[in-house]
Amino acid sequence: MLKYAYFIESINHNPHHNLSLEEALFDNLPEDSIIFYLWQNQHTVVIGKNQNAHKECDLQKIKEDACILARRSTGGGAVYHDLGNLNFSFITSEEFYSLERQSSVILDCLQQFSVQAKLNGRNDIEVDGKKISGNAYLTRDKKKLHHGTLMVHVDTEIMKKYLRPSKLKLQAKGVNSIRSRVINLKDLNPFITVPQIKNSLKIAFENIYQLPLLPLEIPANYNEYYQHYQSEKFIYGSLSNYTHYLEYRFDFGEVNVYYTLKNNKIIHIVSYSDAMDLSIVHNINHFFKGLYLDYNEFQARFQVSNQDYLKELYFMMEEKKNEL
């Protein structure tokens, strides 16, 4: 039985702080409880856990404009945050996790402002086909995180300045469709403000969960998480010398693979993806590392993994193996 609901709001607008706090809360989740966390980032680009920062963003413009680059704990694509955006997080155990219930908190809040929104699939909240919120998820150690954005009055023009959708994504969705799918809540109700949304979210949460929101302190070991999230190694990753590169867009998202072949053997591999499923990049790296580009050896490994995207990537590697 869910006994406790805790609330914490960050007054810090640094994304490294806010994402660190989120993971610290996740790892220190009290028993029989759910945490509701609200936070905002100022002038920030946030990339997915498995994305390639060098490919997804214009790092030069980000640096010139003193924009902050951060990497989150969940999958998916790159997004721009400013103080016109409000981020929310639900953290609880697998036992009490309910995407429907959590999403209802957001939808009921918006209804208070006469905004009739709906959840589209698992990842977006939309109004008449226009995206006002993107969502992402994490499961680890029998706990779950559901976090997302609420675009109140985000500067959507500056968003385009820092993000670089790949050619494959543009071919799949089209430039105009990507730009036209996003809308601010202010465009739907000009009287909406971020403080009002914050207050209404808390009211909606308590109504749906029938539990009072109790205050929660920052975990004592928070600083350990902060050191990790603000480190350049975590944010930018590392790409050592490689001999081959391939990219492909699957139904679940785009995959970029950098690898080194020596005597027809993959001796080093690094993969990136905007897929929501974090396991995909791990599976690719684990499957191909040390593999000879020999169909019989591939088949032996594939019998265990049996993932179609691995087969597709293998055939592309076969085609490229003589390239230098």
Domain boundaries, the chain: 4-235, 239-320
pLDDT digits (tens, 9 = 90+) for 136-192: 999 999 999 999 999 999 998 888 899 887 666 655 555 444 455 789 999 999 999
Q: Distance of CA 257 to CAs 98, 239, 273, Å?
A: 34, 11, 9
What is the rounded distance in angstroms from the CA atom of residue 305 to the CA atom of residue 299? 10
Full-model pTM: 0.92
**Residue 98 CB contacts under 8 Å (≥ 6 apart), including other chains:** none
- CB neighbourhood size of 73 (10 A): 20
Look at the domain 239-320 and name its fold.
Answer: Enolase-like; domain 1 (3.30.390)
What is the rounded distance in angstroms from the CA atom of residue 99 to the CA atom of residue 111? 18
- CB neighbourhood size of 59 (10 A): 17
Q: How far apart are the first and last CA of the chain?
A: 60
* Residue position matching structure tokens 């009287």: 191
Tokens (6 digits) for 178: 């990507």
* Residue position matching structure tokens 């088949």: 299
pLDDT recorded at residue 35: 98
pLDDT recorded at residue 177: 44
pLDDT digits (tens, 9 = 90+) for 263-304: 999 999 999 999 999 999 999 999 999 999 999 999 999 998
Burial class (CB in 10 A: 0-12, 13-18, 19+), 125: buried
What is the rounded distance in angstroms from the CA atom of residue 33 to the CA atom of residue 178? 38
Please report, rounded to a whole number, the percentage of residues in the chain having pLDDT higher than 70: 95
With cut-offs at 50, 70 and 90, classify the pLDDT of residue 86: very high
Sheet holding 244-250, edge to edge: 244-250, 253-262, 265-273
pLDDT digits (tens, 9 = 90+) for 90-136: 999 999 999 999 999 999 999 999 999 999 877 899 999 999 999 99
pLDDT recorded at residue 172: 56
Judge whether residue 254 has pLDDT over 80. Answer: yes
Residue type for position 189: N
Q: Distance of CA 320 to CAs 235, 264, 313, Å?
A: 30, 11, 11
Tokens (6 digits) for 166: 């790949």
- CB of 243 closer than 8 Å to CB of 322: no
Asked if the 4-235 domain carries CATH number 3.90.1150.10, the reply is: no
Helix (H) or strand (E) holding 145: strand 143-151
What's the rounded mean pLDDT across residues 197-225? Answer: 97
- CB neighbourhood size of 131 (10 A): 17
- CB neighbourhood size of 324 (10 A): 6
Burial 236-273 (b: 16+ CB within 10 A, else e): ebeeeeebbeebebeeebbbbbbbebeeeebebbbbbb
* Residue position matching structure tokens 């601010």: 184
